[in-house]
Structure 1
Amino acid sequence: MNLTQRPPRSPRVRLGGYVLLPRLLDKCRAEIAGTAGEYHYNCPMDRRFFDFAGVDHEALKTQVSEGLGDGAVLAWILENRAHQHSDWEIAQWSAHRETAVPADNESRSFINEKVAEAGGADREDIGTWFDFLDLDDHVTFGGKA
Structure 2
Amino acid sequence: MSLHTPDLTKFPPRSPRVRLGGYVILPRMLDKGRATLTGKNGEYRYACPLDESFLDFAGIDPKALKKELTRSDTEVLKWIEKHAKHKRTAPEIAAWSAWQEQRSPDNPDSREYFNGLHKAGAPKRTDITSWFDVLDMDDFASFGGKA
Length-normalised TM-score, structure 1 = 0.96
Paired position in structure 1 for 2:35: 30
Paired position in structure 1 for 2:123: 121
Q: Secondary structure at the match of 2:139?
A: helix
Unaligned runs of 5+ in 2: 1-5
Question: Structure 1 stretch 68-77 or stretch 101-110: which is displaced more?
Answer: 101-110
Superposition pairs for residues 57-96 of structure 1, below 5 Å? 57-64=62-69, 67-96=70-99
Match status 1:21 vs 2:23:
no
Q: Counterparts of 1:104 and 1:134 in 2: how far apart (Å)?
A: 21
Task: Tell me which of 46, 52, 60 is aligned to 1:55.
Answer: 60
Q: Deviations over 1:81-135 (max 9, x none)?
A: 00001000000000000100000122112111221112x2121100100000000
Q: Counterparts of 2:49 and 2:114 in 1: how far apart (Å)?
A: 15
RMSD over equivalenced CA pairs, Å? 0.7
Q: Secondary structure at the match of 1:24?
A: helix
Q: Counterparts of 2:104 and 2:43 in 1: how far apart (Å)?
A: 22
Task: Tell me which of 6, 9, 16 is aligned to 1:4.
Answer: 9
Report the number of matched residues.
142
Which runs of structure 1 show a deviation greater than 3 angstroms over 4 or more consecutive aligned residues? Answer: none
Paired position in structure 2 for 1:46: 51
Q: Counterparts of 1:111 and 1:144 in 2: how far apart (Å)?
A: 18
Q: Secondary structure at the match of 1:18?
A: coil
- Given residue 77 of structure 1, which amino acid in structure 2 is its aligned partner? I
Q: Secondary structure at the match of 1:26?
A: helix
Unaligned runs of 5+ in 1: none
Q: Counterparts of 2:131 and 2:118 in 1: how far apart (Å)?
A: 11
Match status 1:130 vs 2:132:
yes
Q: Counterparts of 1:22 and 1:122 in 2: how far apart (Å)?
A: 29
Match status 1:110 vs 2:113:
yes
Task: Tell me which of 100, 103, 108 is aligned to 2:103.
Answer: 100
What fraction of aligned residue pairs are identical, expressed as a percent?
A: 51
